[in-house]
Amino acid sequence: MTPLSRLIDTRLPWLTDGGLETDLIYSQGIDLPDFAAFPLVGTPQGEAALSRYFSPFLALARDHGTGFILDTATWRAGQVWGERLGLDHGAVARVNADAVRFARKLRDEWSEIDIVVNGVVGPSGDGYRADAELSAWHARMAHAVQVDALARAGADLISAMTMTHAAEAIGIAGAAAAAGLPCVISFTVETDGRLPSGQPLEEAIYDVEQLETPPLWYMVNCAHPDHFGDLFDPAQDWVQRIGGIRANASRLSHAELDQSTELDDGDPEEFGALYADLATRLPALRVIGGCCGTDHRHVGAAGAACQSHAATRATG
């Protein structure tokens, strides 16, 4: 079986990382224009910074006896953001291929654990606001260069992260299917549990589910568990399609986080306890990670809590 097949079939959740960009900025003091981490790939100093960031998370997966979903540093490496940073289509394809190359190199260095190389695709607009809503067709065209480059370079999976409206998620899923890769869709939600577009999470998932090739599963990201945990009734079909959580450490709203000049990393132990509660509500939970303000402490606490629950459920 491939690592992706084992991830799909797993009963014990796998781990992924926390808030890459916020950690690089606040913990390592690295300037990221437009919040873009992909320029770090291809330079010794940049790749060393990425290795420093990922290594504690990979060690957690090893120590927990589980696999790891290794993100490419490409959340801001799509066509729209690439053009803002002076890249044409050819350059966008190259930086995404380079990011996969780096991820595969890191996977080789941690060969003792199962690792899925996850090709990350971010929104064309802001990850906190639905300020650039696209039709599904336009989204597919806008993301095709990046998705195709990630697939050709050897990514195992495409994940659309911090999606603010359903149509863009549908477009990216279509681009992934055309490139021959499965995909995961992860939605950003506000403090009321709705997408930044105002659409309820349940409706957004049902919209994407109409695709001929629907995602492997859905995720929720970039919000504190208090903002969305009460939405989950395990008896509901759409809740059973949620396979991953990447929550923020902070309870602040997105508007408040946008204005913040200091990292709010919350309480890692409380974070783990909140994930334990989420695990009781999400029967298909298989990916545990974090988003803004989280690091290996948060993911370690959350992973231990969710794996304990999954082990109890499997033996009970």
Question: Residue 218: pLDDT above 70?
Answer: yes
Is residue 303 included in any domain, yes or no? no
pLDDT confidence of residue 203: 98
pLDDT band at 132 (very low <50, low <70, confident <90, very high): confident
- Of the listed ranges 12-16, 150-154, 307-311, the one predicted with least confidence: 307-311
What tokens were used for 32? 């990221």
Is residue 300 included in any domain, yes or no? no
Structural domain total, the chain: 1
pLDDT band at 131 (very low <50, low <70, confident <90, very high): confident
Is residue 296 included in any domain, yes or no? no
The residues, ordered by sequence, that sit 6+ positions from 165 with a Cβ below 8 Å of its Cβ are: 130, 133, 134, 195, 196, 197, 199, 204
Per-residue pLDDT tens digits for 203-214:
999 999 999 999
Share of the chain above pLDDT 70, in %: 97
Is residue 226 included in any domain, yes or no? yes
Going by C-alpha positions, the residue among 114, 23, 126 that lies closest to residue 76 is: 126
Stretch 230-239: mean pLDDT = 96
What tokens were used for 165? 């409206």
Is residue 33 included in any domain, yes or no? no
Provide the CATH number for the domain around residue 275.
3.20.20.330
Is residue 99 included in any domain, yes or no? yes
Is residue 217 included in any domain, yes or no? yes
pLDDT confidence of residue 259: 74
CA 20 – CA 71 distance, rounded (Å): 9
Per-residue pLDDT tens digits for 146-172:
999 999 999 999 999 999 999 999 999
Whole-model pTM?
Answer: 0.95
Range of the domain at 235: 14-28+56-290
The dihedral region occupied by 154, where left means phi > 0, alpha psi between -120 and 50, and beta the remainder, is left
Phi, then psi, of 286 in degrees rounded to 5: -135, -5
Is residue 49 included in any domain, yes or no? no
pLDDT confidence of residue 235: 94
